[in-house]
A and B are shown apart, each in its own frame.
Chain A
Amino acid sequence: MERAFYLDKNKCEGCTNCMRKCPTEAIRIVNEKAVINNDKCIHCGECIRVCPYNAYNSVTDKIDDINKNKFSIAIPSTAVYGQFHIGTEICNIHKALLSMGFDYVYDESWGADLVSQAVRNRVKEIKDNRPVINSNCPAVLRLIKVKYPSLMENIIQLQSPMEISAILARKKAKEIFGKNDEDVEVFYISPCPAKSIRVYSPIVLGPSKIDKVISLKEIYGDLIREMKMHHEICYSNPSIKGLKWSLSGGQCEAAELEHSIAVSGIENVLNILEEIEMGKLNHIDFVELMSCNESCVGGPFNFENPFVAKNNINYIIKNTDNSNILIDDIDRFEEFDKLGYFEQKINLGFKNAQALNIKAGIERLEKVNQMVKILPKIDCGSCGSPTCRALAEDIVDGINTIESCVILKLKK
């Protein structure tokens, strides 16, 4: 899989909205349809959100993809817990998943709780490359890879809550149900396309322990139906620390780091990465960078708007008492840490996009600057490139022509 969403060409009007919103200028309009450059796409989902014609759809696994011959585990993203009306019990969401055909549900908040401790320890150990950057938003990781490759070294080499949860869920399947790894299949219920692409084509992190990814939108209707049908009193047992990971600032809080900052929303993330690259934030220990507004509760495949979802999660947090938590995994941090469960290598190898030699690179830049002078600089996007500067680059690179500029044509 090269991309975790696709464009329905029949619905696309070539309106340029997505092209102008894309943070990496990955989109062009060709023959009145949007075209995405997979090498540049970071899977932030901004194009999906902004499209007025709902032309972008998720590429997702489905409930029917549950293999009846395997022991199937569902791990809903903690953001999923904020998608139902206020006061919805987490245990009822889990039950609904079980009645939809899963054999077991693992609560990601426990995984997140454990990772918090690992983040805290690791940040304290790391001496250089400040600030340390979180590793759990795959869109941010890809953004760093394509636009800020020199900051790859700052990414914390730790697993995300999603991955730890998959590891621990598989362990549970073995310990409780006697299931071997090859007889187990793990599904992640995802708020975004970024998590899918992390699973299906990891370019920054190593292979994933998740097998399949279902977008929340895909099963939301079924979930609601099941929950209505089988509603009953039950007991939920999430980790408060872990739940916070779905909200902006939650990781910093859970890891109890003194000099840390949390940034959410792709534009804010771009700005802060610029500053980090200039060395302006060397005095900060840890930055939590999340592509979506308000963090994962703002994921593009969620149902609720981020602010309502945030309130729902906060309500669960307020009504949860962790003083007698019944999760044995939480007490096994030292053991898991020794086993190396939290380790995650970052694939540092950055290749220059074009691998130009310096002289050719300067020549290209000169040509682009010359061309920018000729263009009207109103960034209208009618040419099919997101800005006049991008058109200048496209002309120099031979993928667009100056005849595409509507304004210049009018002036003639």
Chain B
Amino acid sequence: MEELIKRYEYEIIANDFDIAGSTSSSIKRNLKSIGVDPSIVRKVAIVSYEAEINIIIHSKGGKMCLEIYKDKLTIRAHDNGPGISNIDLAMSEGFSTATNEAREFGFGAGMGLPNMKKYSDNFNITSSSEGTNIDIDIYMD
């Protein structure tokens, strides 16, 4: 196991559209101020934004973590259900069960999970009715 340098944790509240994106914004701001390479920051920004929004619009709420290691960043998005019944289907481009309300806010293109996978170096997703866990690594070299 690599040495963990720092861990940040954020609470994400379901259906709170007012502050949707604020967690990924502060993750982005922190990484910039720490001095992480801009292209890495951008990947993390995209990945954490999609993960945050998914927790807000599809789940009962949960939390996100940013872990900083010597040469990688790990983003963990863990929520409290209801889970994804068919992960392969959810991962396919264009698949979405977003509500009309969420669509009015511009979400629901079904591109969130595919994009998260695209911008990460390791992408791991597990899901049950207890909750969905996504763990993502982005390397810093």
Contacts and interface: CB of A to CB of B under 8 A. Distances in A.
B34 A358 contact: yes
Nearest to A369: B30
A279 B35 contact: no
A265 interface: no
A358 B5 contact: yes
A356 B46 CA distance: 23
Chain A contact-residue range equals 20 to 34
Contacts of B50: 279
Chain B contact-residue range equals 20 to 34
Interface stretch (B37-45, B56-64, B84-92, B126-134): B37-45
B76 interface: no
Interface in A262-288: 274, 277-280, 283
Contacts of A278: 21, 24-25, 28, 45-46, 49
Interface stretch (A3-11, A206-214, A347-355): A347-355
Contacts of A338: none
A406 interface: no
A365 B49 contact: no
A376 interface: no
A150 B5 contact: no
A365 B35 CA distance: 10
Judged by DSSP, the binding face of B is helix
A149 interface: yes
A362 interface: yes
Given A150-B39, A277-B45, A278-B21, A362 B28 contact: no
Contacts of A361: 33-36
A332 interface: no
A362 B5 contact: yes
B103 interface: no
Given A150-B41, A278-B49, A279-B45, A356 B35 contact: yes
Contact of A149 (B25, B38, B45, B49): B38
Contacts of B115: 279
Contact of A357 (B35, B39, B49): B35
Contact of B70 (A356, A358, A364): A358
Interface in A51-66: none
Contacts of B42: 150-151, 277
B68 interface: yes
Interface in A358-411: 358-362, 364-365, 368
Interface centre among A150, A152, A354, A365 (most CB of B within 10 A): A150
B38 A279 contact: no
A153 to B, nearest CB: 8
Contacts of B109: 283
A268 to B, nearest CB: 17
A350 B37 CA distance: 9
A128 to B, nearest CB: 11
Interface of B: 5-6, 21, 24-25, 28, 30, 33-39, 41-42, 45-46, 49-50, 68, 70, 106, 109, 115, 140
Interface of A: 148-152, 274, 277-280, 283, 350, 352-362, 364-365, 368
8 contacts: A278-B21, A278-B25, A278-B45, A279-B46, A280-B106, A358-B5, A362-B6, A368-B33
Given A354-B35, A365-B33, 18 more contacts: A150-B41, A152-B38, A277-B45, A278-B49, A280-B49, A283-B109, A352-B35, A355-B35, A356-B34, A356-B35, A358-B5, A358-B36, A358-B140, A362-B5, A362-B6, A362-B34, A365-B34, A368-B33
